[in-house]
């Protein structure tokens, strides 16, 4: 079976003159990449570095899962284990989940989707990437120097007084990478406000752009709080200023408030862009307008705003007042409502569509299934008496992996498959794309479903040894992780392959309606020879076309 038909035209040589020069052909030297201000090239720089961090984080997960195969501590040392899951958490959250979709796909697609030639501040965009890399170097230093054993949440006073590892350096890495986020967020907000093409009104924007707008607002408002908290943490550790240390009159819970004030909204930083991606995938591959476009757009904004008010649901058993807990629980239920809207709207979008069951749609449907499950178990955690039991156990690990790995990583991969032809000008193997989507879906469930049960049985998280009766579930989980790992490695192989051997992609391989599909694949350096004038609604698919006003 030859999945890869030899390309009809050989790269570059004779056909190049017929096509406009693509952004990739705009320069071939390393320098032309490292000094580029083209949003598309910067997106590629991000893609390469983020992929590296993803596999670094995966290494930490592999160590954790191997250790947990047996009830006893036998592979790593106790601190070795603690360092492994801290590395895994820090890298996955700050160097993969938060930046991934915005910096890769937001960067590449937002200007194309709104009909602009670049982001509002191209040089700032490049600077953001360098800051990201600098933060990454700090992390690499921590890794080489021995690691940190505080968990990614860095709870005080453990992190300030009792953990011997390189906590200050790790905090510095997070601090630095936060600046990269802030700059990216600012850039997106200004771009979406000022650079929309004529006729591209707010209600003609793709949902992808709406969700990035909402995400950027959170990035800009929440990240500074984290930055401030990290400075306090570093000062406390270095100088003992007594903000968190109870012996000096500080408050050990203050860190948790500051941390979650950022990190709860950060969960939406991780998931809103994914929701944007999934909305695009669902409409594109069912060739139908998003059901309830306005609802879906406003739901993003509602989630972003209410998301700031629920941080206390991480602290139901931390000793905050009972009434505070009740308010936070109520608000958490409230924020779930707009998320539910989205899920039902996606499903309704599929109704009576022309469903093209390719890899991107499979990823999107996988996302929806896992997100529903992760979201509803989130409601369990938002329910006071149930959280009292489930908090701090593997149940929580299962919940956030359903949202962030089942959700955000599936969406990232769905986006990768959908826009790969646009970014690279090459088609990948549909067969292997579907295989990887299925492997990831099933591997994921085998890995993480057992953790719901383990957690409810009373298995705490961050344990290197555990009661032997839990072993069968742990083994099942590790077996699933192998399958999941293979699922994640496959795209690396066939996508790289397609770069060299894949058939050339037409401008619009999926028959989609967005502006980005109206320019050649890959797009020329300045995106549009002439700035388009938009006269149609977003998702202008046939049935919608008739009701056009």
Partner 1 sequence: MTSWLPFWPASASAYADRVDLLVWAFSALIIVLAAPVIIGMVWFAAKYHRGSPADRSDAPTRGFWIEADWTVVPFLLAMIFFVWAAHLYYIVRTPPDGAMEVAVVAKQWMWKFQHPGGQREINELHVPTGQPVKLTMTSQDVIHSLFLPELRLKMDVLPDRYTSIWFQADRPGTYALRCTQFCGTDHALMGGRFIVQEPRDYEAWLQASAVDGTLAQEGERLFRRLGCSGCHGMNSAVHAPDLAGIYGTQQPLADGRFVLADDRYIRDSILMPKRQVVAGYEPIMPSFAGKVSEEEILRLIAYVKSLPREGSKQP
Contact positions with ligand HEM (CB under 6 A) in 484-523 = 484-485
Which one of partner 1, ligand HEM, none is in contact with 414 (Cβ closer than 5 to 8 A by kind)? none
Which one of partner 1, ligand HEM, none is in contact with 32 (Cβ closer than 5 to 8 A by kind)? none
Name the token pair of 173. 């890495």
Name the token pair of 353. 């569509």
Residue 267 is a binding residue for partner 1 (CB under 8 A) = no
Q: At what angle do helices 167-194 and 122-145 cross, to 10 degrees?
A: 160
Nearer to ligand HEM, 293 or 395 (CB): 395
Contact positions with ligand HEM (CB under 6 A) in 36-65 = 61, 64-65
Q: Do the Cβ atoms of 366 and 282 come closer than 8 Å? A: no
List all residues 6 or more positions away from 225 whose beta carbon is below 8 Å from its beta carbon: 258, 261, 262
- Separation between Cα atoms, residue 204 and residue 452, nearest integer Å: 41
Contact positions with ligand HEM (CB under 6 A) in 134-193 = 151-152
371 CB-contact burial (10 Å; exposed 0-12 / middle 13-18 / buried 19+): buried
- Figure out which of the listed residues 132, 293, 402, 419 binds partner 1, where binding follows CB under 8 A: 293
- Figure out which of the listed residues 230, 296, 403, 405 binds ligand HEM, where binding follows CB under 6 A: 405
Residue 502, number of CB atoms within 10 A of its CB = 23
Going residue by residue from 374 to 403, which x/- string records binding to ligand HEM, judged by CB under 6 A?
-----------------------x---x--
Distances (CA, A) of 170 to 92, 157, 407, 446: 14, 16, 27, 32
CB of 288 to partner 1, least distance (A): 6
Which one of partner 1, ligand HEM, none is in contact with 485 (Cβ closer than 5 to 8 A by kind)? ligand HEM
Is the torsion defined by CA of 186, 34, 270, 176 positive or negative?
negative
Closest-by-Cβ residue to ligand HEM is 89
Nearer to partner 1, 134 or 376 (CB): 376
- Separation between Cα atoms, residue 434 and residue 438, nearest integer Å: 6
CB of 350 to partner 1, least distance (A): 4
Residue 499 is a binding residue for partner 1 (CB under 8 A) = no
- Separation between Cα atoms, residue 498 and residue 350, nearest integer Å: 29
List all residues 6 or more positions away from 305 whose beta carbon is below 8 Å from its beta carbon: none
Contact positions with partner 1 (CB under 8 A) in 78-137 = 78-79, 82
- Figure out which of the listed residues 286, 429, 445, 477 binds partner 1, where binding follows CB under 8 A: 286
Nearer to partner 1, 176 or 290 (CB): 290
Q: Do the Cβ atoms of 403 and 378 come closer than 8 Å? A: yes
- Figure out which of the listed residues 26, 235, 241, 318 binds partner 1, where binding follows CB under 8 A: 318
Residue 281 is a binding residue for partner 1 (CB under 8 A) = no
- Figure out which of the listed residues 481, 519, 534, 544 binds ligand HEM, where binding follows CB under 6 A: 481
Residue found by looking up tokens 């649901």 in the block: 313
CB of 342 to partner 1, least distance (A): 10
Instruction: Kindly write down the DSSP assignment for every residue of 212-280, as one continuous string.
Output: HHHHHHHHHHHHHHHHHHHHHHHHHHHH--SSS-GGGT--TTHHHHHHHHHHHHHHHHHHHHHHHHHHH
CB of 132 to ligand HEM, least distance (A): 16
Q: Do the Cβ atoms of 336 and 378 come closer than 8 Å? A: yes
- Figure out which of the listed residues 11, 20, 198, 467 binds partner 1, where binding follows CB under 8 A: 467
Contact positions with partner 1 (CB under 8 A) in 332-361 = 333, 336-338, 340-341, 343-345, 347-348, 350-357
Is the torsion defined by CA of 481, 486, 492, 498 positive or negative?
negative
Residue 275 is a binding residue for ligand HEM (CB under 6 A) = no
- Separation between Cα atoms, residue 508 and residue 504, nearest integer Å: 11
Separation of first and last alpha carbons in the chain: 49
Contact positions with partner 1 (CB under 8 A) in 59-78 = 73, 78
Stretch binding partner 1 (CB under 8 A), from 129-137, 179-187, 245-253, 404-412:
245-253
Residue found by looking up tokens 């007084």 in the block: 161
Contact positions with ligand HEM (CB under 6 A) in 76-95 = 85-86, 88-89, 92-93
Contact residues toward ligand HEM (CB under 6 A) are: 61, 64-65, 85-86, 88-89, 92-93, 96-97, 151-152, 397, 401, 404-405, 409, 447, 461-462, 481, 484-485
């Amino acid at each position: 079976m030859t999945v890869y038909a030899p390309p009809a035209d050989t790269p570059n040589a004779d056909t190049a003159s017929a096509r406009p020069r693509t952004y990739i052909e705009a320069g071939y030297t390393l320098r032309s990449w490292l000094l580029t201000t083209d949003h598309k090239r910067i997106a590629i720089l991000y893609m390469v570095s983020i992929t590296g961090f993803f596999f670094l984080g995966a290494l930490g997960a592999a160590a954790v899962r191997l250790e947990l195969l047996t009830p006893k501590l036998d592979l790593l040392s106790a601190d070795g284990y603690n360092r492994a899951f801290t590395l895994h958490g820090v890298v996955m959250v700050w160097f993969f989940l938060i930046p991934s979709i915005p910096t890769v796909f937001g960067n590449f697609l937002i200007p194309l989707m709104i009909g602009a030639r670049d982001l509002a501040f191209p040089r700032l965009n490049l600077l953001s990437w360098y800051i990201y890399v600098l933060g990454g170097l700090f992390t690499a230093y921590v890794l080489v120097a021995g690691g940190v054993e505080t968990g990614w949440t860095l709870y005080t006073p453990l992190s300030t007084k009792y953990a011997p590892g390189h906590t200050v350096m790790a905090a510095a890495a997070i601090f630095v990478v936060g600046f990269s986020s802030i700059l990216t967020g600012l850039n997106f907000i200004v771009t979406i406000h000022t650079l929309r093409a004529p006729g591209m009104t707010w209600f003609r924007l793709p949902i992808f752009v709406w969700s990035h707008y909402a995400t950027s607002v959170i990035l800009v408002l929440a990240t500074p709080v984290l930055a401030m908290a990290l400075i306090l943490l570093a000062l406390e550790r270095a100088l003992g200023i007594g903000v968190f240390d109870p012996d000096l009159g500080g408050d050990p819970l203050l860190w948790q408030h500051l941390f979650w004030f950022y990190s709860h909204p950060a969960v939406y930083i991780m998931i809103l862009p994914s929701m944007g991606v999934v909305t695009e995938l669902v409409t594109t591959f069912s060739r139908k307008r998003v059901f309830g476009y306005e609802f879906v757009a406003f739901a993003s904004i509602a989630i972003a705003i209410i998301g700031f008010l629920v941080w206390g649901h991480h602290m139901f058993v931390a000793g905050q007042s009972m009434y505070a807990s009740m308010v936070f629980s109520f608000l958490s239920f409230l924020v779930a409502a707009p998320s539910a809207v989205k899920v039902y709207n996606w499903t309704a979008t599929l109704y009576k569509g022309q469903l093209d069951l390719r890899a991107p749609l499979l990823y999107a449907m996988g996302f929806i299934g896992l997100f529903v499950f992760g979201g509803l178990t989130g409601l369990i955690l938002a329910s006071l008496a149930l959280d009292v039991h489930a908090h701090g156990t593997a149940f929580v690990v299962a919940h956030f992996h359903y949202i962030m790995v089942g959700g955000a990583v599936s969406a990232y991969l769905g986006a990768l498959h959908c826009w790969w032809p646009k970014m690279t000008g090459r088609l990948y193997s549909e067969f292997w794309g579907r295989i990887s989507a299925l492997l990831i879906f099933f591997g994921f469930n085998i890995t993480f479903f057992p953790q719901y049960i383990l957690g409810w049985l009373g298995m705490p998280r961050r344990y290197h040894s555990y009661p032997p009766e839990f072993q069968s579930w742990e083994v099942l989980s590790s077996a699933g992780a192998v399958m999941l790992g293979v699922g994640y490695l496959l795209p690396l192989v066939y996508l790289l392959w397609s770069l060299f051997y894949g058939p050339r992609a037409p401008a619009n391989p999926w028959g989609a309606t967005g502006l980005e599909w109206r320019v050649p694949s890959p797009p020329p350096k300045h995106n549009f020879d002439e700035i388009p004038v938009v006269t149609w609604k977003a998702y202008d698919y046939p049935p919608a076309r008739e009701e056009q006003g």
